[in-house]
């Protein structure tokens, strides 16, 4: 029984995944996935690769996820799962690629510049 190890990233979140065949137990940072990602939307994001490849409930996952917020973490886990499914069975690749689950989303927060309030927002202009 081999363990597949993959990594997924999104914004500042990093998800390290260990996947093996099992009964569909997903553990994120020692908690159950339903406890760690409480909303239906986030749980759906995590389960999307399994739904696409019709492999729900056939793997046990152990995920360590760090950094960022819950949405970024959920998408990082999704990328890690998609990569693991590809590694396991290259047949899954076209379906996952078509859904865009194998693409690392490159969008990051733009840095704040000096002389401005945020990255692009200027300070309030005062005429006098």
CATH number of the structural domain spanning residue 37: 3.30.230.10
| pTM, two decimal places | 0.90
Tokens found for residue 22: 């099992």
pLDDT score for 56? 87
In a domain, 105, yes or no: no
The burial class, CB within 10 Å (0-12 / 13-18 / 19+), for 20 is middle
Q: Spell out the residues 6+ positions from residue 31 whose beta carbon is closer than 8 angstroms to its own.
A: none
In a domain, 118, yes or no: no
In a domain, 54, yes or no: yes
In a domain, 59, yes or no: yes
In a domain, 61, yes or no: yes
In a domain, 114, yes or no: no
Predicted confidence pLDDT, tens digits, the chain (128 residues): 689 999 999 999 999 999 999 898 999 999 999 999 999 999 999 999 999 999 988 899 999 999 999 999 999 999 999 999 999 889 989 999 999 999 999 999 999 999 999 999 999 999 98
Q: Which long-range contacts (CB under 8 A, 24 or more apart) does 66-71 make?
A: 66/13, 66/14, 66/15, 67/12, 67/13, 67/14, 68/10, 68/11, 68/12, 68/13, 69/11, 69/13, 70/37, 70/42, 71/42, 71/45
Q: How many domains does the chain have?
A: 1
In a domain, 126, yes or no: no
Q: Which residue has the tokens 């986030």?
A: 42
Its domain, for residue 17, covers 4-99
In a domain, 125, yes or no: no
């Amino acid at each position: 029984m081999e363990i597949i190890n993959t990594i997924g990233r999104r914004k500042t979140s990093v998800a390290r995944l260990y996947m093996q065949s099992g009964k569909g137990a997903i553990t994120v940072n020692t908690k159950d996935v339903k406890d760690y990602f409480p909303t239906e939307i986030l749980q759906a994001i995590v389960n999307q690769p399994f739904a696409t490849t019709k492999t729900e409930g056939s793997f046990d996952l152990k995920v360590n996820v760090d950094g960022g917020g819950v949405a970024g973490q959920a998408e990082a886990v999704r990328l890690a799962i998609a990569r693991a499914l590809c590694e396991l069975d290259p047949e899954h690749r076209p379906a996952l690629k078509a859904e865009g689950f194998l693409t690392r989303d490159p969008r990051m927060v733009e840095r704040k510049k000096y002389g401005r309030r945020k990255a692009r927002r200027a300070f309030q202009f005062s005429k006098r």
